A and B are shown apart, each in its own frame.
Chain A
Amino acid sequence: MNSSVTNIVVAGLGGQGVLKASDILAELVFRSGMDVKKSEIHGMSQRGGSVSSDVRFGPVVLSPMVPEGEADYLVVTQQDQVAVNVNLLAKNGILIQPSDVEQSKLRNKKSLNVALLGVLSIHLNFPEEAWKAAIQQNLPEPLHEANLQAFALGRESGVR
C-alpha cells in the first residue's frame, strides 16, 4: 500500500453534515496544493440512512475510495455508526467519535460535524487558519460563528 497517502473516512447518518465535513476537509487539502480525491455515494443520503465519504490525499492519489482496513482516521458523527464503519479503520488508525467532544458545550448541536473536524485537525499538519478558511468557504455566513466555535471546541478536546 502507498503509505504516503493519508486516508480519512467521515461517516454518520444523512442530515448530519457528513458530506459537508468531507467537503471542508477536501477543500483544505486542495488549497494546500496536494493531490486529493473525495468519493461518496449520493442519492439516498438525504433520507436518514447511513452515509460515508472518503477523502484521500498525498503526492499522488489513485483510487478515490479508501480500501477496507486502510483508513488512517475514521470520523463518525453518530455513535451507533461506529460499529458499521470500524472495519475501514487501519490497525493503528485513529477513531474520532461524538464522545470525543463535550456536546453540551456546542452552541449549535448541528455543528458536531465541524467539532469532530476540530479533533481531527490536531492530528493533521495543516495551519489552524487554513482550517478556518475552509470552514468559512463551505458554509453560509450566518453559520460561521457557531461552526468556528465548534471547531475550536473540538480542537481543545483533541489536545487534551
Chain B
Amino acid sequence: MQPADSKLDKLFLSGDEAVALAALDADVKLGSGYPGTPSTEILESFEKLGGRAQWAPNEKVALEVGIGVAFAGARALVTMKHVGLNVAADPLFTVAYTGVDGALIVVSADDPGMSSSQNEQDNRRYAVAAGVPMLEPSDSQEAYDFMLRAIEISERWHVPVLFRMTTRVCHSKSVVQRGAPVPPPQPAHFAHDIRSRVMIPAYARPAHRRLREKLKQIAEWNESSGLNSITQGSADLGIITSGICFQHVREAVPAAKVLKLGMTYPLPTALMRQFASSVQRCLVIEEGDPYLVESARMEGITVEDKSEMYRFGELNVPRVRRIVERDLSPESKPIPGKPPELCPGCPHRSVFIALRNLDCYVAGDIGCYSLGVLPPFEAMDSLVCMGAAIGVGLGMRHVLPPGEARRVVSVLGDSTFVHSGITGLVEMVYNPPPTGHVLLILDNGTTAMTGLQEHPGTGRTLKHASTGKVIFEDLVRSLGVRNVIVVDPTSDPKAFEELVRSALDKPELSVIIARRNCLLAAKSIREYERCDEQLGH
C-alpha cells in the first residue's frame, strides 16, 4: 500500500486495498475468506494494516465464521471470488433470515470476462435470490465509502450485506480520501435469541416474513439513501448503470444524463421510473446479465437494453460507445498474446508428462496445474469447479468399461483438496468403483495460483505464523485408504510414471501425494520454517 500523501491526506489504492482500509477504520474484528482472484488482496491488505484476517478452508466455512462473529455482536468481513459464493450460498440464504447483531459484509468479487475464472456468473442474482441488500462500488473511493455504508445498513436493519465488486474495481488503483473512523456501537457480546437464530421451520417461517419486511423498508430508504446519484445531461439520452460501467459511460457519452445506482438491491424503483420518464431514450448499460433491465421492466419501466453480444466479457469505453450507437457489427478480436504456462522447473510438469505418457483420462481441477491442459502436456480432460476432480473421476469410473475405467485419474492441488476435495475423498471410500480409483494430490506447499497463500495443509496462518497442520497422508489413511504414497515427482520422473501405472493397474483405491514445494514459494517457505525453528515450534 502506498504511503499517504501528507499534503493532501490522500492515498492511491486498489479497490481491494480500499475495502481493507475501510474495514480497519470501522474496527472490523475479523476478516475471513478463501483466496480467489480478484478478491485475495483484501484480507492480505487488512492483515498488513493491522487487522485480524484468516484464511478459511473454503468460502462456506469463512462465511460461517463471519456469521458467528456477527452473532456475537462484532463486525465481520468475509471475502471471496464470485464462484466462492456458490460454495457459501448455503449459509448466506439462511443468515438472511436469522439476521445479525454486528455487521456482516460479504464481498463477492465477480470476474466478467473471466480473466482468471472458470465462468462469468453474475452474482447480483444472489442478492435477489437470498434477499440480502447489495452495494456496488465503481472505484476505490467508493469501495472505501460504500464499505462504511454497508456496515451502517447491516447494523441498522440487522441484515448481512452483499458487497459486489468486479475485477476492474478490485484491481484498478485510484485516489482515495480516507474518512474518520467509525467505531462499532458496542463491544462483542452474546445474548440468547433462540427464535431469531435457530432456524427450525417453526422459527424460520416468521423469520422469512421479517426479512421481507426489512427489505421493503430498505427499498423505501434507498430511494433517497444517497447511494444513487444523477449526473445531469441532455434529456435526449439517459443511461442507468452501476459499478465500473459508470466510469466507462461517463467517458464514452459525456453528454448523456446518467443514473448511477450504488445500491442495486433492493432497487430504488421510483427513482428509476422518474429518471426514465425524464429522458427521450433510456438505456441500461450493465456488464453481464440483464439484471437491471429485467428489474426495471418488471416494474413497468420502459428501458432499452444492450444487445446480447455485449453480455459476454467485460465492457469498456469503446464497447459502451457501440451499445449507445446500437452497433451490431462484429467486434475486432484482440490479438492473442502469449498464454501463461507452468513455470520452467515447476514440479507439476513431471506429473503431467507422466499422465500424458500413460494416456490417462484426467479429471482435473482448479489451480496452477490447470495449465496442464495446454501444450505441450494437454493432459487434462475436465475442469468444473473446486474439488470436482474426485467426484467427476469416480463417476467416469463407475460407468466406463473396466479397460477404459482403469485409465481414469483424479488430479487436484493441496489447497483445492482442503477446500472441497476431502468430501470427494469420503465419497471415494464410501462408493468405490469396481476398478478402484487413483487420486493424485499435487502438494506444492502453497495456494500458488492466487499468489502463494497459506492453507490448513501448510500449517501456517495467513500471516505465515506456525499453527495446526492437516497432514494429508494421515487424513487419507484415517479414512481407510490403504495405498497411500508420498513421493517427490521430480526426483525420478520415470519411477513416478511407473508408480502411477501400477496404481492404475490395481482394482483398489490409491492416493498418491506428489509433494514438492512450488518454485516461487520455496524460498519463502524455507524462511518461514527457519523462523519457526528459532521460535522453538
B12 touches A49 (CB 8 A): no
The yes or no answer to A62 lying at the interface (CB within 8 A) is yes
- The CA of A64 and the CA of B172, in the complex, are separated in Å by 7
Of chain A, the residue at the smallest CB distance from B336 is: A84
A67 touches B116 (CB 8 A): no
Give every chain B residue within 8 A of A36 (Cβ-Cβ). Answer: 12, 173-175
B168 touches A65 (CB 8 A): yes
The yes or no answer to B2 lying at the interface (CB within 8 A) is yes
- The CA of A83 and the CA of B336, in the complex, are separated in Å by 10
Give every chain B residue within 8 A of A49 (Cβ-Cβ). Answer: 337-341
The yes or no answer to A142 lying at the interface (CB within 8 A) is no
The yes or no answer to A38 lying at the interface (CB within 8 A) is yes
Name A37's contact: one of B2, B38, B174, B342 (CB within 8 Å): B174
B12 touches A26 (CB 8 A): yes
B172 touches A37 (CB 8 A): yes
B336 touches A30 (CB 8 A): no
A68 touches B343 (CB 8 A): no
Of chain B, the residue at the smallest CB distance from A47 is: B340
Name A84's contact: one of B251, B318, B335 (CB within 8 Å): B335
Of chain A, the residue at the smallest CB distance from B11 is: A30
Contacts A46-B520, A67-B317 given; indicate if A81 touches B337 (C-beta within 8 A).
yes
- The CA of A26 and the CA of B450, in the complex, are separated in Å by 24
The yes or no answer to B431 lying at the interface (CB within 8 A) is no
A37 touches B371 (CB 8 A): no
A39 touches B172 (CB 8 A): yes
- The CA of A8 and the CA of B334, in the complex, are separated in Å by 18
Give every chain B residue within 8 A of A67 (Cβ-Cβ). Answer: 316-318
Name A48's contact: one of B38, B318, B338 (CB within 8 Å): B338
Contacts A26-B12, A38-B173, A43-B116 given; indicate if A63 touches B317 (C-beta within 8 A).
yes
* Residue from B2, B339, B340 with most neighbouring chain A CB atoms (10 Å): B340
The yes or no answer to B121 lying at the interface (CB within 8 A) is no
A47 touches B342 (CB 8 A): yes
- The CA of A50 and the CA of B332, in the complex, are separated in Å by 19
Of chain B, the residue at the smallest CB distance from A14 is: B340
B332-371 interface code vs A (CB 8 A; 1 in, 0 out): 1011111111110000000000000000000000001001
The yes or no answer to B527 lying at the interface (CB within 8 A) is no
A47 touches B247 (CB 8 A): no
The yes or no answer to A105 lying at the interface (CB within 8 A) is no
Give every chain B residue within 8 A of A46 (Cβ-Cβ). Answer: 340, 343, 451, 520
- The CA of A39 and the CA of B244, in the complex, are separated in Å by 12
Residues of A70-105 at the interface with B, using a CB-CB cut-off of 8 Å, are 81, 83-85, 87
A50 touches B5 (CB 8 A): no
Name B37's contact: one of A26, A30, A42, A87 (CB within 8 Å): A42
A38 touches B172 (CB 8 A): yes
Residues of B323-337 at the interface with A, using a CB-CB cut-off of 8 Å, are 332, 334-337
- The CA of A132 and the CA of B384, in the complex, are separated in Å by 47
Interface size class of B (residues with CB under 8 A): 35 or more
The yes or no answer to A2 lying at the interface (CB within 8 A) is yes
A50 touches B174 (CB 8 A): no
The yes or no answer to B171 lying at the interface (CB within 8 A) is yes
The yes or no answer to B8 lying at the interface (CB within 8 A) is yes
Of chain A, the residue at the smallest CB distance from B321 is: A67
A65 touches B316 (CB 8 A): yes
B316 touches A31 (CB 8 A): no
Tally A-B pairs: CB < 8 A: 116
A41 touches B173 (CB 8 A): no
- The CA of A40 and the CA of B116, in the complex, are separated in Å by 12
The yes or no answer to B86 lying at the interface (CB within 8 A) is no
Give every chain B residue within 8 A of A14 (Cβ-Cβ). Answer: 340
Contacts A41-B115, A42-B38 given; indicate if A47 touches B316 (C-beta within 8 A).
no
Give every chain A residue within 8 A of B7 (Cβ-Cβ). Answer: 33
* Chain B min CB distance to A63 (Å): 5
Contacts A63-B248, A81-B337, A87-B335 given; indicate if A44 touches B12 (C-beta within 8 A).
no
- The CA of A40 and the CA of B173, in the complex, are separated in Å by 9
* Chain A min CB distance to B187 (Å): 37
Give every chain B residue within 8 A of A41 (Cβ-Cβ). Answer: 115-116, 167, 171
Name A30's contact: one of B12, B244, B332, B339 (CB within 8 Å): B12
The yes or no answer to A106 lying at the interface (CB within 8 A) is no
Of chain B, the residue at the smallest CB distance from A52 is: B337
B248-276 interface code vs A (CB 8 A; 1 in, 0 out): 10110010000000000000000000000
- The CA of A39 and the CA of B2, in the complex, are separated in Å by 16
Give every chain B residue within 8 A of A33 (Cβ-Cβ). Answer: 5, 7-8
- The CA of A27 and the CA of B1, in the complex, are separated in Å by 11
Of chain A, the residue at the smallest CB distance from B171 is: A42
The yes or no answer to A13 lying at the interface (CB within 8 A) is yes
* Residue from A14, A30, A47, A61 with most neighbouring chain B CB atoms (10 Å): A47
- The CA of A40 and the CA of B14, in the complex, are separated in Å by 11
* Chain A min CB distance to B506 (Å): 35
Name A2's contact: one of B175, B251, B450 (CB within 8 Å): B251
B443-465 interface code vs A (CB 8 A; 1 in, 0 out): 00000011100000000000000
Of chain A, the residue at the smallest CB distance from B111 is: A43
Of chain A, the residue at the smallest CB distance from B246 is: A62
Of chain B, the residue at the smallest CB distance from A27 is: B2
- The CA of A62 and the CA of B318, in the complex, are separated in Å by 13
- The CA of A36 and the CA of B335, in the complex, are separated in Å by 27
* Chain A min CB distance to B344 (Å): 8
A63 touches B337 (CB 8 A): no
Contacts A36-B175, A48-B338 given; indicate if A43 touches B38 (C-beta within 8 A).
yes
Among all A-B residue pairs, the 3 with the closest Cβ atoms: A50-B337, A43-B116, A47-B340
**19 residue pairs from A and B, CB less than 8 Å apart:** A36-B173, A37-B174, A38-B174, A39-B172, A41-B167, A42-B37, A46-B340, A47-B343, A49-B337, A61-B174, A62-B248, A63-B250, A65-B248, A67-B316, A68-B318, A84-B337, A84-B338, A87-B335, A137-B3
* Interface of B toward A, CB cutoff 8 Å: 2-3, 5, 7-8, 12, 37-38, 115-116, 139, 167-168, 171-175, 244, 247-248, 250-251, 254, 316-318, 332, 334-343, 368, 371, 449-451, 520
Known: A26-B12, A33-B8, A50-B339. 19 other contacts (CB 8 A): A14-B340, A35-B174, A37-B172, A39-B171, A41-B115, A41-B116, A41-B167, A42-B115, A42-B116, A43-B449, A43-B450, A48-B340, A49-B341, A63-B317, A64-B139, A64-B244, A64-B247, A65-B168, A65-B317
